Amino acid sequence: MWTGEPERFGLVGFVGAALLFSPVAGCVAGGCAEPSLPPAEPPTAAIALELADAGRSSSPSASPTAVGGTAEGEPGGRDRGPAAAPDAGPCDDSLGSRLAQVSCDGTRILVAHPVALHPKRTIPEQPVRKTLDAVARLMAERPDIQLLRIEVYTSRRVGDSAGQRRGETLAAQGRADSVFRYLWRRRGVSAERMEAVGYGQPATVETPASRWPAVLHIVQRAAPR
């Protein structure tokens, strides 16, 4: 029978009993197994999102070239030059319904009717008048035409006679001056953008069928910017 230190025995016994019936005592006796946890659900939503992103990145429609029309390294197309203009096809010198237009090579103003004007007339008759009015509008629309030479030729074959050549030249010059004056005084084309020259010989280029064929020769044009 125990008779010494009852308080100490009681405390030790209480602690021993607590350890005996605690989960720690069971681990000491038989070894503790890790507590079983419910199996974690696979992150199906995250996997699906990753697969969707991968599909979009590998799709041709989502390539950097297809989106915005730019290649990799060119955000928003800022590094790319302007798109090439569509091919307008070959140039055509046919006037159609127009009365005047610049030729494809840019050296002449083509007209639908001969612009011969008698020296003694200040107002040309129709259809020459409408044609010259169209030339004046074209000059206003094309400030790049800096110098237009009004060239009037003779359709007559001139021989070796100096007097005949001189007469044809003076007649051609008078008609060129008449066209010049009409465009300047009546239609407001600047005199600094025109000059008139008469030639006492046939033209070396194709001209309208006229006794005094005229060629509107673009001598000087402004350089494109």
Q: Are 196 and 169 in contact (CB under 8 A)?
A: no
User: What CATH number has the domain bearing residue 125?
Assistant: 3.30.1330.60
- Is 29 part of a structural domain of the chain? no
Q: How far is CA 179 from CA 172, 188, 218, in A?
A: 11, 12, 15
Share of the chain above pLDDT 90, in %: 36
Q: How confident is the model at residue 219, as a pLDDT?
A: 96
How many residues are given for the chain? 225
pLDDT classification of 215: cutoffs 50, 70, 90: very high
Q: Has residue 180 been placed in a domain?
A: yes
More confident residue, 55 or 210: 210
Counts for the chain of helices (H) and strands (E), in that order: 5, 5
Report if residue 60 sits inside a domain. no
Domain for residue 115, yes or no? yes
Range of the domain at 156: 100-221
**How many structural domains comprise the chain?**
1
Residues 30-81 have pLDDT tens digits of 455 555 555 555 555 555 555 555 555 554 444 444 334 444 444 444 444 4
Q: What is the pLDDT of residue 208?
A: 66
45 in a structural domain: no
The reply to whether 24 falls in a domain is: no
Strand arrangement of the beta sheet that strand 100-102 belongs to: 100-102, 108-111, 214-221, 145-152, 194-198
Residue 170 belongs to some domain of the structure = yes
pLDDT of 88 over the 50 cut? yes
Task: Report pTM.
Answer: 0.58
Q: Judge contact between 60 and 66, C-beta under 8 A.
A: yes
Residue 145 falls inside a structural domain = yes
